[in-house]
Amino acid sequence: MTDAPETATPATGATRSGFVALLGAPNAGKSTLVNRLVGAKVSIVTHKVQTTRAIVRGIATHDNAQIVFIDTPGIFKPKRRLDTAMVTTAWGGARDADVILVLIDAERGIKGDAAAILERLKDVRQPKVLILNKVDRVDPEKLLKLTATANEAVEFERTFMVSALTGSGCKDLLDFLAKRLPEGPWYYPEDQISDLPMRQLAAEITREKLYLRLHQELPYSSHVETEKWEELPNGSVRIEQVIFVERDSQKKIVLGHKGETIRAIGQASRMEIAGILEQKVHLFLFVKVRENWGDDPERYREMGLDFPH
Ligand SMILES: Nc1nc2c(ncn2[C@@H]2O[C@H](COP(=O)(O)OP(=O)(O)OP(=O)(O)O)[C@@H](O)[C@H]2O)c(=O)[nH]1
């Protein structure tokens, strides 16, 4: 990774730092785990699969170490161009990392995407750590069997059993990572938890509210962009965002009866953004129909993805 800013804050004593990639099937709990380890909300969690489109990093400081998490998009069988780009980017991120965490939903077990990830990991040289997640839902005997099966398939340095939801096992994982990363100066200032620009984070928050409210009706093809960000003299901020959908019928769903739905989404998003910024927010949401945006190379660059050829 070479894109880190040169403004790191040195801590006293020998510092450690490095990049940790999270690989896992859709819905394995990657975003929940990053949020838990970082201790603040940086990556968006919904119960829909494949919601993490851009690579979002969370930064945890633990003991003397700065741990930069690369929250990869779900690794799954690509169907559309956009999906292919996400998979390529996810594996690229893994190869740049100092440590790879392989997250498996212990309730689902090792099948489908999880099995495919283990298979592909055989060619990856970086140190690998197995994380069995959602242990709050699984009995210990099954966990032991899963551990054995996964370790037969891939050489893992360690296995951790965690619940990203309750936090169980997460401190042990942080302790391990803090010691495992190489010695070196920190990449980011101490108080920084994500290098996702605020505009993009604000768009992610609106996207989360959109999915939480319309999860049944709305396809993944919808997308939110922050188009305007204006700091006003009275200390408040005016934000304009556009929700892009692919069809007129979807636009109607997002607007809702007499604009009820978009108003509720806007209100929930505004409150959360204001909480993070600690300033008053005026949020204006617009809905636009944009067909086939998934095939537009410009969109890929905006999301930090490679356009597949
Ligand atoms: N019971 C339980 N549920 C969990 C746990 N961790 C995550 N979940 C739930 O699993 C679902 C998926 O979690 P995410 O963190 O969005 O999963 P993800 O791997 O980031 O998903 P994608 O972004 O789609 O790849 C959410 O409903 C979480 O609340 C856990 O430890 N226990």
pLDDT in the model for residue 182: 93
Q: Which atom of ligand 1 is nearest to the CA of 28?
A: 19
56-62 vs 65-71, strand pairing mode: antiparallel
Averaged pLDDT, groups of 10, the chain, 309 residues long: 42 79 86 82 44 56 85 53 56 75 95 85 87 96 95 95 96 96 82 65 87 76 86 91 90 93 96 86 94 65 55
pLDDT in the model for residue 46: 41
ipTM of this complex: 0.97
pLDDT in the model for residue 52: 41
205 is in an annotated binding site: no
Q: Whose CA is nearest to atom 26 of ligand 1?
A: 47
For the segment 33-68, what is each residue's pLDDT rounded down to a tens digit? 988 888 754 544 444 434 444 454 677 888 889 888
List C-alpha distances in Å: 209 to 13, 74, 197, 219, 251. Answer: 43, 20, 19, 14, 15
Domains and CATH numbers, the chain: 16-180 (3.40.50.300), 198-302 (3.30.300.20)
pLDDT in the model for residue 50: 40
pLDDT in the model for residue 45: 45
Q: How far is the CA of 51 from the centre of ligand 1 (A)?
A: 11
Other beta carbons within 10 Å of 299? 19
pLDDT in the model for residue 166: 96
Cβ–Cβ < 8 Å for 57, 196: yes
Q: Whose CA is nearest to atom 8 of ligand 1?
A: 29
237 is in an annotated binding site: no
Cβ of 43 less than 6 Å from ligand 1: no
